[in-house]
Structure 1
Amino acid sequence: MLDERHEIIEFGPHIPLKIFIHKLGSVSKHWHSSLELLMVLEGNISITVDGETWQLKDEDVILINSNSIHEIHSENGAVMIAVQIKLSLFNQFQTDLTSIVFDCNSATTPDFKRYANIRFAIASLIQANSYHSDGTDYMNYSLSYYLVSQLLENFKSNASETLQKQQKYMERLTRIINFINEHYAENFSLSDLAAMENLSVPYLSQFFDKYMGVKFIQYYTGIKLEHAVSDLISTKDSIETIAMRNGFTESHAFIRAFKKQYQMLPSAFRKQQAQNPTLTAHANDINYLLLEPSNYLQALTKYLSTNDLSAHSMPSAVHKELVVSDIPVTETLTPLRHTFKTFTSVGRAAELLDRNIQEMLIDLQKNVGFRYIKFHGILSDDMMVVSRIGQELRFTYTLVDQVLDFLLSIQLKPLIQLSFMPKELAENPDKTVCYCPFITSPPADMKEWNFLIEDFTRHLIERYGLDEVKQWPFTVWNEPVTSKKMFGFGDDALFFRFYKHTYDTVKSVCQDIQFGSPSMLYIENLGNADWIYRFVGWCQENNCLPDFMNIHYYADIILPTSGDDFFLNKATASCFPKITDDFSLFIGGVKKIFKTLGLQDKPVYMTEWNFTMSHRNLISDTSFKTCYIMKNLLKNYDRLDSFCYWSLTDLIRENPLPPNQFHGGLGIYTSSGLRKGVFYVFYFANMLGDELIASGDGYFITRKGDSYQIITYHYIHYGDLFAAGELFDITETNRYTAFDTTKSFDISLQLTEVANGNYNVKEYFVNRHHGNAYDIWLEMGAIPLSPKDTDLFRGLCVPGFHQSRLYAEKHALTYTAELKPFEIRFAEISPL
């Protein structure tokens, strides 16, 4: 069975529906008491219901009646929407719905009009739940009854006698199947079952064959084999032990049955699994460069009514409010370190030779001023460091020096990430990752790698001076916890030795150089904390404990799959946290891990951080992204020693670049150098004072001398549908349907113990009308920009600005702001 499904809408207890999305290869025979309405979104399926088989294609609809035995197969994989309907909960109008059979199958009666309202109801249910609003539960209630009304009106069948007879048999069959599943290891016989049901053996044999479509012995053997296969993969028990545990009388019977089913011996199967573990066994075996949001539900949008059931308009008169009184400004204040300025980032060293990227970095430094920069590939072949003449290795640092000279000229110090493997040193030069490839192979000869690292470290000291280089953090590699398809070696013990060799070599040149852990991607649902514990434990035992910890965070929840080709788009699938404070919980989680390991005094640098790893999630260009970063930065201000946003620009060589510059890239700048809204997160934060007065959901107040700085923001969380990884009706020019944007946010903050008198208030704000390049592009017509247009457009991508006056009396003044959805606002209040 290759079926993966998840519930994309979680209805309240009064809605007798469940909606799932299935991604499948095949689903074996099964049944359930609820009705199940299936709609094919992508691919072709063969479905057998009560012995009859139909072929369904894109957008076909079929209803499976209660207790109908059905199975589904798809050669190339398919995606379906499944709506489970509990008819017994709809009996409010003195109609016994459970006695009704429906004949709803567009493969047999392809009458578009009959099925249009069914498709409309499914699409409307999904649209109504694309975000949370006050009326959603009532909309769900009405739509669920509308769906049942359409089934009754158009698809009711006169087959109640057949249903009653089938119901009787289903009760018996359910008892039998439940008994087999619970007692499979007890090696019972068909005669044992017949005695339990007070039936003759021949009758029960015919009954089972008729309703299950398979001989009893075949079905029973298949159940035992399923459990035995699990034991083969997950345990080291002998073949004999596994056979006996799972109901086989002796090992030879198990081996014969296994070979017939799988065309190989159990021992060969176990060896194959050990050598080629599947994604199911190792959920971290992903290639997140192929991470893309799902758009399977897009086909449903054409069935939506022209009168939208959901309001996706700009804010109406509805407001939410926050009033905070009596915020004293003279009590003991918290000093701020502004650790968000510790690191910025760019994709790779070679990109820093690009004039366009240099100009973006110069602009960022001029307006924010970061201290360090993280990038990959300082030793990769595009930096032309390593060559071999005959048997002699030669090292050339010309391009490296150009990169470092430029960085130092704009007051940026490098994080020296010793990566990736030069071709001349690689054990496997074909092990690559990224569109412009990095070689991520281990070295063929560790001595040659050590030779390079020692020579390179000495070169840096000779060129830039020991005092300067001692200020640079060093590390080796990126995300070794990921699969062998990416940066991992596929052998943790090998990587640990590789780390120690590199650590020892750098320290042998200068013991005072700070050498940290490799960049560690910690995604809780993949269990990567185990890797951190093993790595640190190994370092403690081998005297190479990192001087700082180096972590990454992305909100993606990676969905493990059952094989590389399981998803039709050949991309890794992800969804997102439904809770709003996942980032805060993550930070608390990693701090707890490091405290448990005795590393609580080590600096913790987050050297990559973004909402998603995907370079193609359209949400990344929106004002949501700007507000998301601002909210999480302020709510976790200074909790870590760095918060490094990844990455500087969409002009990054990890994936092919689409022609549209608003393609959902990760950058602070577009590929043409336009500032995106997230630029102003750091611009505003850079204007904060050095003492924290107060903070809470939606606001952050600091002090600088006798002036006060306030950042406010109006964050709106996405709905469950987007959290499930489904874009649905999000398009290139319509990217806000995952959010309830009907409410503005009124904030009132009363500062007390201030000096009486007049104050000037300067406000800068970024929202869907000011400062966010994508939204301004929409207002300009959403037409691709020419180079001349881009230069003009650059001048429009600036914050809104407003000035006003406040008067403080009785040593109190009140600052108010009305924020549009996703707006971030900086205000400075200064005495005149």
Structure 2
Amino acid sequence: MEKQISYRINSGTEFAFRNHADFCIGTGRMGLSLQQQYQEQLKLVQDQIGFSYIRGHGIFCDDMAVYQEYTDEAGNVRTEYNFTYLDMVMDAYQSLRIKPFLELGFMPQKMASGEQTVFYWKGNVTPPKNYQAWSDLVQAVLSHLMERYGKEEVVTWPVEVWNEPNLPGFWKNADKEEYFRLFQKTFDAVKMVDSRFLVGGPAICGVDDVNWLKSFLEFCQEQNLKPEFITRHHYMFDKPEQCGHYSYGALRNPSAALGELKISRDIIDSFDLFQGLPMHITEFNTSYSPDSPIHDTTVNAAYVAWLLSQMGDLCESYSYWTFGDIFEEKGVPFTPFHGGFGLVANGTIPKPTFWTFAFFKTLQGRCVHRSDELVVVENEDGSYCGTAWNLCLDQKKRILLNITLPVKEDGEYCVLTKTVDEFHGNPRKIWHDLGEPAWLSREEIQILKDGAQPAIHTETHFADASGISLNIKLEPWAVVWFQLKKINRRSDRGYDYLRGENPTPSRLQS
């Protein structure tokens, strides 16, 4: 089945489009950044997309070894801090030109009031047994970072207090009052180091989120606390069904799912003290489980493309969870395509959604068109670039997209397209066709990397006053990037492109 859609873009047209796709990216716990494969995946992401911030769990977890205790000669328990691994992590981020969006958690075991943990790597999710010790830890870490990387730099690193405290798995009993106490103590501790730090929360997900957000803002208002931003998370999956190592579920209608963010925005703006306060989505994806095969698919890529085209209307930023598949919430994965959250599969293989972000990164000019399947921007030099996608919500059909663009002058133009669909830029299909090997050979890794690249197509058009008409074919769940740019051909002396591909018989005989 096919659906034909035509758009004529008129000169001077402008659409609102707040493109913050490259602001922040998620990661697994910070201790994983000590692995070589983690660094290789992050380097690929930074080289080809380039995010400004990175947010992850576990800065205070025991594998980072920051918080330490010892007993002195008099039998007194003393505190000391170890910044060895923290410095390694932050140095690596600095070298890759990315800043931390600091999520403060989880609780160091020796400081914790209980034994409850979350994930394969056992992050402690209980309150501190001594809030002064917690405040001292927060201040010691921030002070150390400022000494090492400079005050003017570190105060640009946002500080988020905890992760999803509205879930009893992430905060003991999902105790609101105890979280509010943690937030206030942390807020005060951070501001005592430097009042310029931006501090926010409550980092809630979509469970009882309306009640939690209202209660949080009421608490802040009563205590005369004004966080600089509000954070929440956003996932698009119905409750998944578990099958072996994997979880499967249905995607919600994206417009309806986006309505949840509108509710949060309205709640924030209903308080005079917090009206207009930035809202950061510090985690979003389709499924909320790191074993959902949808994450590796073109379906995910097209769905996320629609989200990236819309989320800036409501949010200051939206951080995809996560950049790579070095990730262990449910343990070490068994295969390279196991449904991990990452834009990059293990083996440093880009997935289709990687290209969705790479394509949106380029959409930085004046937006001249935005619709449910297309965003187009015009650059200062008169060129255009755009991203189109086929979100098959109702039925699976191909889209034939015709776009007519105005041009500033007659002449020859090049149209360049990059296509990701079922048969292009889709290493999961190649892996499946190879027999789904769990442990890839070097040769297989290279085949998958080669197959992960989008299909590139070029053609030339001659423009006149009517503009240039482009035809883009979007297979189901495809994402296509295009560029239209005027070319000034300057052939070398004696070079003939057509003659080069049609040698004369006498030349062949000789």
Same fold (TM over 0.5): yes
Which residue number in structure 2 is paired with residue 319 of structure 1? 2
Answer yes or no: is the 8 Å Cα contact 1:615–1:666 preserved in 2: yes
Three-state SS of the structure 1 residue aligned to 2:258 is helix
Alpha-carbon shift at residue 717 of structure 1 (Å): 2.3
Answer yes or no: is the 8 Å Cα contact 1:756–1:807 preserved in 2: yes
Question: CA 1:681 to 1:571, structure 2 compared with 1: closer, same or farther past 3 Å?
Answer: closer
Which residue number in structure 2 is paired with residue 818 of structure 1? 473
CA distance in structure 2 between the aligned counterparts of 1:568 and 1:319, rounded to whole angstroms = 35
Alpha-carbon shift at residue 486 of structure 1 (Å): 2.9
CA distance in structure 1 between the aligned counterparts of 2:341 and 2:243, rounded to whole angstroms = 21
Answer yes or no: is the 8 Å Cα contact 1:371–1:412 preserved in 2: yes
CA distance in structure 2 between the aligned counterparts of 1:778 and 1:574, rounded to whole angstroms = 18
CA distance in structure 2 between the aligned counterparts of 1:745 and 1:637, rounded to whole angstroms = 25
| 1:409-558 paired onto structure 2 within 5 Å | 409-428=95-114, 430-483=115-168, 485-521=169-205, 523=206, 526-558=207-239
CA distance in structure 2 between the aligned counterparts of 1:681 and 1:714, rounded to whole angstroms = 12
Question: CA 1:782 to 1:574, structure 2 compared with 1: closer, same or farther past 3 Å?
Answer: closer
Alpha-carbon shift at residue 751 of structure 1 (Å): 1.8
What are the Cα deviations for residues 784-824 of structure 1, in whole angstroms up to 9, with x where unaligned? 43243213321221000000112222242211111111111
**Is 2:459 aligned against 1:804?**
yes
Alpha-carbon shift at residue 422 of structure 1 (Å): 0.5
CA distance in structure 1 between the aligned counterparts of 2:131 and 2:310, rounded to whole angstroms = 44
TM-score, with length taken from structure 2: 0.89
Three-state SS of the structure 1 residue aligned to 2:459 is strand
Alpha-carbon shift at residue 532 of structure 1 (Å): 0.7
What are the Cα deviations for residues 726-749 of structure 1, in whole angstroms up to 9, with x where unaligned? xxxxxxxxxxxxxx54x2110011
**Is 2:422 aligned against 1:768?**
yes
Answer yes or no: is the 8 Å Cα contact 2:165–2:175 preserved in 1: no
CA distance in structure 2 between the aligned counterparts of 1:648 and 1:614, rounded to whole angstroms = 15
**Is 2:251 aligned against 1:597?**
no
**Is 2:262 aligned against 1:607?**
no
Three-state SS of the structure 1 residue aligned to 2:393 is coil
**Is 2:53 aligned against 1:372?**
yes
Which residue number in structure 2 is paired with residue 694 of structure 1? 369
Which residue number in structure 1 is paired with residue 495 of structure 2? none
Alpha-carbon shift at residue 578 of structure 1 (Å): 4.8
Matched AA of 2:21: F
Question: CA 1:452 to 1:636, structure 2 compared with 1: closer, same or farther past 3 Å?
Answer: closer
**Is 2:21 aligned against 1:340?**
yes
| 1:196-345 paired onto structure 2 within 5 Å | 318-325=1-8, 327-331=9-13, 333-334=14-15, 338-345=19-26
CA distance in structure 2 between the aligned counterparts of 1:513 and 1:578, rounded to whole angstroms = 37
CA distance in structure 1 between the aligned counterparts of 2:134 and 2:263, rounded to whole angstroms = 35
CA distance in structure 2 between the aligned counterparts of 1:400 and 1:568, rounded to whole angstroms = 36
Which residue number in structure 1 is paired with residue 388 of structure 2? 712
CA distance in structure 1 between the aligned counterparts of 2:264 and 2:337, rounded to whole angstroms = 33
Answer yes or no: is the 8 Å Cα contact 1:556–1:574 preserved in 2: no
Answer yes or no: is the 8 Å Cα contact 2:116–2:172 preserved in 1: no
Question: CA 1:686 to 1:748, structure 2 compared with 1: closer, same or farther past 3 Å?
Answer: same
What are the Cα deviations for residues 509-547 of structure 1, in whole angstroms up to 9, with x where unaligned? 1111111113121x2xx4321011001110111122211
Answer yes or no: is the 8 Å Cα contact 2:242–2:248 preserved in 1: no
Alpha-carbon shift at residue 753 of structure 1 (Å): 5.6
Question: CA 1:505 to 1:634, structure 2 compared with 1: closer, same or farther past 3 Å?
Answer: same
**Is 2:303 aligned against 1:628?**
yes
CA distance in structure 2 between the aligned counterparts of 1:346 and 1:646, rounded to whole angstroms = 7
Which residue number in structure 2 is paired with residue 358 of structure 1? 39
Q: Which has the larger radius of gyration?
A: 1
| 1:165-176 paired onto structure 2 within 5 Å | none
How many residues end up aligned between the 2 structures?
479
CA distance in structure 1 between the aligned counterparts of 2:371 and 2:174, rounded to whole angstroms = 44
CA distance in structure 1 between the aligned counterparts of 2:275 and 2:285, rounded to whole angstroms = 24
Three-state SS of the structure 2 residue aligned to 1:373 is strand
Question: CA 1:580 to 1:510, structure 2 compared with 1: closer, same or farther past 3 Å?
Answer: closer
What are the Cα deviations for residues 342-379 of structure 1, in whole angstroms up to 9, with x where unaligned? 10121111011111111111111111111111011111
Three-state SS of the structure 1 residue aligned to 2:327 is coil
Q: 2:332 aligns with which of 643, 648, 657?
A: 657
Three-state SS of the structure 2 residue aligned to 1:478 is coil
Which residue number in structure 1 is paired with residue 68 of structure 2? 387
Question: CA 1:761 to 1:373, structure 2 compared with 1: closer, same or farther past 3 Å?
Answer: same
**Is 2:394 aligned against 1:746?**
no
Answer yes or no: is the 8 Å Cα contact 2:311–2:318 preserved in 1: no
Question: CA 1:574 to 1:549, structure 2 compared with 1: closer, same or farther past 3 Å?
Answer: farther
Matched AA of 1:807: F
Question: CA 1:616 to 1:602, structure 2 compared with 1: closer, same or farther past 3 Å?
Answer: same
Sequence identity (%): 26
Answer yes or no: is the 8 Å Cα contact 2:265–2:314 preserved in 1: no
Matched AA of 1:588: K
Three-state SS of the structure 2 residue aligned to 1:710 is strand
Question: CA 1:571 to 1:800, structure 2 compared with 1: closer, same or farther past 3 Å?
Answer: closer
TM-score, with length taken from structure 1: 0.55
Q: Which has the higher contact order (CA 8 A, sep 6+)?
A: 2
CA distance in structure 1 between the aligned counterparts of 2:247 and 2:364, rounded to whole angstroms = 41
CA distance in structure 2 between the aligned counterparts of 1:816 and 1:572, rounded to whole angstroms = 39
Unaligned 5+ runs, structure 1: 1-317, 560-566, 719-739
Q: 2:351 aligns with which of 676, 682, 700?
A: 676
Matched AA of 1:786: S
CA distance in structure 2 between the aligned counterparts of 1:670 and 1:791, rounded to whole angstroms = 13
Three-state SS of the structure 1 residue aligned to 2:465 is coil
Answer yes or no: is the 8 Å Cα contact 1:763–1:827 preserved in 2: yes
CA distance in structure 2 between the aligned counterparts of 1:419 and 1:500, rounded to whole angstroms = 15
Alpha-carbon shift at residue 776 of structure 1 (Å): 2.5
Three-state SS of the structure 1 residue aligned to 2:287 is coil
Alpha-carbon shift at residue 400 of structure 1 (Å): 0.6
Answer yes or no: is the 8 Å Cα contact 2:16–2:367 preserved in 1: yes
What are the Cα deviations for residues 744-775 of structure 1, in whole angstroms up to 9, with x where unaligned? 11001112364322211011010111112112
Alpha-carbon shift at residue 406 of structure 1 (Å): 1.0
More deviation, 771-780/470-479: 771-780
**Is 2:262 aligned against 1:588?**
yes
Which residue number in structure 1 is paired with residue 91 of structure 2? 405
Matched AA of 1:579: N
Answer yes or no: is the 8 Å Cα contact 1:519–1:551 preserved in 2: yes
Three-state SS of the structure 1 residue aligned to 2:451 is coil
What are the Cα deviations for residues 607-642 of structure 1, in whole angstroms up to 9, with x where unaligned? 100001122222222210111111221133454211
What are the Cα deviations for residues 449-476 of structure 1, in whole angstroms up to 9, with x where unaligned? 1121222222122222111111110121
Answer yes or no: is the 8 Å Cα contact 1:715–1:821 preserved in 2: yes
CA distance in structure 2 between the aligned counterparts of 1:779 and 1:800, rounded to whole angstroms = 19
Answer yes or no: is the 8 Å Cα contact 2:156–2:197 preserved in 1: yes
What are the Cα deviations for residues 291-332 of structure 1, in whole angstroms up to 9, with x where unaligned? xxxxxxxxxxxxxxxxxxxxxxxxxxx31111123x11334x
